[in-house]
Chain A
Amino acid sequence: MSAISVEHLSKHYLIRSGRRGQDRLVHAVDGVSFEVPEGRTLAIIGESGCGKSTVARMLVRLAEPTAGRILVHGREETDRRTIQLVSQNPWSALNRRKTIRHALEQPLVVHGLHPGAAARAARVRELLELVGLTEDYLDRRPGGVSGGELQRVTVARALAVEPRVLVLDEPTASLDVSVKALLVNLLMDLQRRLGLSYVLITHELEIARHLADEVAVMYLGRFAETGDAEQVFSAPGHPYTRALLAAVPGPGREPAAPLQGEVPSAVAPPPGCRFHTRCPLAIDICAQTEPELRPGPDGRRVACLRQDELVLSPDPVDKETETR
């Protein structure tokens, strides 16, 4: 049974009347489906504002889907312990009047884990250690620690209740490379030992590449491409995936020219393929017909009308590492 199974999930936000005096809908997520097998990792990558955090929030029931179905371990109702979110914005995820000790002890109390003050304190110490922090931080409030320290507190907090599934929304964004490595190793270790399943949302493609079994590439509320992570990263299929991978800078590597054109509005997504307004390969039909995710010969699925004409080519990241 899959850890997570999502069918035709959508979220449309209603926004109040603007100048035009009409209520409008933001098409944040528009009919995405995916599975995360138990003990596996799915990475969701994509443009800022394309709906990744909205998916994450729906998975942990912080947002109500407009349509579609979410099953966690085959069930629609799950208790809060099973699936935990590490929020993109640690600052708003924690109560800023309460200490970090409170943030870590409270979930233990709520779920009756490690009863007794001494056992709880020991568990809190252990959690801090996992993310490279010490007891020094316990009496501070969220405002009294650095950005990366706070981010690690939220990871420790999510781990506190021993979830089976973790939804990680940019968990390593503000960490230095060494602490990032510590966290990546921790996630791999937990998965190996306890069989945890992860949905990992990240802009750091190297982290996604390192951790993910499968990857979904999102653009304006829909999936443009899904498939085996190694396949997608080494030979991106969809023109958007290619543009995204080509834009990654590295020491001694100039990023490719950025995408041309404006990001379309999620209030009025373009007809046809949502990427056609910026796609270097777009032809007339792309503005009319909406492409479905179709499996290609290698099993990976691409939503592109010109899929059969696309020649898969190794990405620049690979070339770079080979010549180093």
Chain B
Amino acid sequence: MAPATRAGGTAATSPSGDPPLLSVRDLAVTFRTRNGEVPAVREVSFDLARGEILGLVGESGSGKSTVLTALTRMLPRNAQVTAGHIGFDGTDLLGLREAGMRRLRGDRIGLIPQRPMTSLSPATPVGRQLRWHLDGLDDAGRLRELLGGVGLGAVLDRLDGYPFEFSGGQLQRLLIAVAALGKQPDLLLADEPTTTLDATVQAQVLRLLLELRDRVGLAMVFVTHDLGVISQISDRIGVMYAGRLVEIAPTRELFDAPRHPYTQALLEAIPGRYRRGEPLRTIPGTVTGANRLAGCPFAPRCAAAIDLCHEENPVTREVGTSLVGCHRAGEDL
């Protein structure tokens, strides 16, 4: 089930010559909290072509979910987009009126949120909520097809139940059925959509998403911590650290030749390579406070850091087919 179109071109822009479906430039998002401002996303730029799948990985708290919610303009009230530009199929998303944005969310941009429970109403039967989101669901055949596609045929006769009557993975699949299959959007933003699924059901869902991409040209940003999953589904992979996109590269390239020291450390921490009971490798140090540093946010934990790294944040550079934000990118470390 390898993706049909591995991206071949450079990492910054999409491989085809067509204008990208999604174009994000210098996106910055800040949260106000009691302890001051949290710059959760900074200077994030990437393009996405139609039918392309971009995987996003990165440290817990690095801003992945914030990027996705900013793209749908559903950030919480204490958040502010402080800079940047988001183009979606020629439309300036940040300048769009709320009504227009709502229309886009209705049928062209779908979101599978990280916390399935929060996007379902606890006091309304699940079946009724499905009908809110999808027209034409009174057609029993269509409902069977949607839910059967994500392995939920077994709960078809229980849809008058409330969300708490379903398992974590069942709820997550309901949302996948709505956002991906039901709406068939042009752009699907999927925030850890398979984390609560076992391997067999996960394989079924991934296959389905890839097939949807091949059939209707669905483009996708897919957030996950599972490097096995991301290697299967993505054309390109973006790596986030402390609010920044520190590396973005074609999938094969990222695994074969990780350029950023954080990416390298991430790949080394994969558990399958250790004996049972042996301590797993962590990346020493902590990310906390890194987004307020003057220099490179990874510098305090980086074995390759030099003085410059603590003073200046690196600009993103092209190395081979990768884009890397590291002062020492391209050097043999």
A interface, CB within 8 angstroms of B? 13, 15-16, 18-19, 26, 45-49, 53, 88-89, 91-92, 132-134, 136, 139-140, 143-149, 152, 170, 173-182, 184-185, 188, 203-207, 209-210, 229-230, 243-245, 247-256, 258-259, 262-267, 317, 321, 324
* A67–chain B nearest beta-carbon distance, Å: 20
- Complex partner residue of B60 from A53, A148, A248, A266, CB under 8 angstroms: A148
Q: Is the CB of A173 within 8 A of B195?
A: yes
Chain B 136-166, CB within 8 Å of chain A: the 1/0 string? 0000000000001001111101101100011
Binds A, one of B12-20, B100-108, B179-187, B202-210: B202-210
A136-B65 contact given A174-B195, A243-B200, A263-B154, CB 8 Å threshold: no
Binds A, one of B89-97, B270-278, B308-316, B321-329: B270-278
Q: Is the CB of A91 within 8 A of B154?
A: no
Q: Is the CB of B76 within 8 A of A185?
A: no
- Complex partner residue of A47 from B200, B228, B270, B286, CB under 8 angstroms: B200
Q: Is the CB of A48 within 8 A of B169?
A: yes
Assembly CA distance A210 to B281 (angstroms): 13
Q: Is the CB of B117 within 8 A of A92?
A: yes
Q: Is the CB of A147 within 8 A of B200?
A: no
Q: List, in ascending order, chain A residues with CB within 8 A of B35's CB.
A: 136, 139
Besides A46-B198, A267-B158, 18 more A-B contacts (Cβ < 8 Å) are A48-B151, A48-B201, A49-B154, A89-B115, A140-B33, A146-B60, A149-B60, A149-B61, A177-B225, A177-B270, A179-B60, A188-B279, A203-B198, A243-B200, A249-B232, A251-B231, A262-B151, A321-B272
Q: List, in ascending order, chain B residues with CB within 8 A of A175's CB.
A: 60, 225
- Complex partner residue of B280 from A26, A203, A210, A262, CB under 8 angstroms: A210
Residues of chain B at interface, number, CB under 8 A: 75
Q: Is the CB of B158 within 8 A of A209?
A: no
Q: Is the CB of B158 within 8 A of A178?
A: no
- Cβ of B196 under 8 Å from chain A: yes
Assembly CA distance A92 to B155 (angstroms): 22
* B294–chain A nearest beta-carbon distance, Å: 19
Q: Is the CB of B157 within 8 A of A265?
A: yes
- Cβ of B114 under 8 Å from chain A: yes
Q: Is the CB of B228 within 8 A of A143?
A: no
Q: Is the CB of B60 within 8 A of A247?
A: no
A317-B272 contact given A184-B280, A265-B155, CB 8 Å threshold: yes
B interface, CB within 8 angstroms of A? 1-2, 31, 33-35, 57-62, 65, 76, 78, 114-115, 117-118, 148, 151-155, 157-158, 160-161, 165-170, 173, 192, 195-204, 206-207, 225-229, 231-232, 255, 265-266, 269-274, 276-277, 279-283, 286, 288-289
Assembly CA distance A247 to B207 (angstroms): 12
Q: Can you list 8 contacts pairing A with B, beta carbon distance less than 8 Å?
A: A132-B286, A136-B289, A147-B115, A148-B61, A177-B266, A209-B276, A247-B203, A263-B152
* A222–chain B nearest beta-carbon distance, Å: 15
Residue of B nearest to A250 (CB): B228
Q: List, in ascending order, chain A residues with CB within 8 A of B197's CB.
A: 48, 203
Q: List, in ascending order, chain B residues with CB within 8 A of A265's CB.
A: 153-155, 157
Assembly CA distance A145 to B35 (angstroms): 13
* A218–chain B nearest beta-carbon distance, Å: 10
Q: Is the CB of B199 within 8 A of A174?
A: no
Q: List, in ascending order, chain B residues with CB within 8 A of A317's CB.
A: 272
Q: Is the CB of A210 within 8 A of B198?
A: no
Q: List, in ascending order, chain A residues with CB within 8 A of B166's CB.
A: 49
- Complex partner residue of A255 from B227, B232, B283, B286, CB under 8 angstroms: B232
Q: Is the CB of A262 within 8 A of B154?
A: yes
A262-B148 contact given A91-B115, A143-B76, A177-B270, CB 8 Å threshold: yes
Q: Is the CB of B170 within 8 A of A49?
A: yes
Q: How many A-B residue pairs have CB under 8 A?
A: 216
Q: Is the CB of A251 within 8 A of B199?
A: no
Assembly CA distance A88 to B198 (angstroms): 14
* B244–chain A nearest beta-carbon distance, Å: 15
Sorted nearest first, the 10 A-B pairs with minimum C-beta distance are A48-B169, A148-B60, A181-B280, A247-B199, A265-B154, A249-B228, A250-B228, A251-B231, A177-B269, A262-B153
Q: List, in ascending order, chain A residues with CB within 8 A of B226's CB.
A: 204, 249
Residue of A nearest to B114 (CB): A147
Q: List, in ascending order, chain A residues with CB within 8 A of B288's CB.
A: 133-134, 136
* A15–chain B nearest beta-carbon distance, Å: 6
Count chain A CB atoms within 10 A of each CB in B78, B151, B167, B289 and give the residue with the most: B167
Assembly CA distance A209 to B265 (angstroms): 22
Q: Is the CB of B271 within 8 A of A49?
A: no
Q: List, in ascending order, chain B residues with CB within 8 A of A145's CB.
A: 61
Q: Is the CB of A180 within 8 A of B225?
A: yes
Q: Is the CB of B31 within 8 A of A258?
A: no
Assembly CA distance A89 to B116 (angstroms): 9
A177-B227 contact given A88-B168, A91-B118, A136-B35, CB 8 Å threshold: yes
Q: List, in ascending order, chain B residues with CB within 8 A of A152's CB.
A: 60
Count chain A CB atoms within 10 A of each CB in B60, B227, B255 and give the residue with the most: B60
Q: List, in ascending order, chain B residues with CB within 8 A of A266's CB.
A: 154
Q: Is the CB of A48 within 8 A of B276?
A: no
Q: List, in ascending order, chain A residues with CB within 8 A of B160's CB.
A: 16, 18-19
Q: Is the CB of B114 within 8 A of A174?
A: yes
- Complex partner residue of B271 from A46, A47, A177, A252, CB under 8 angstroms: A177
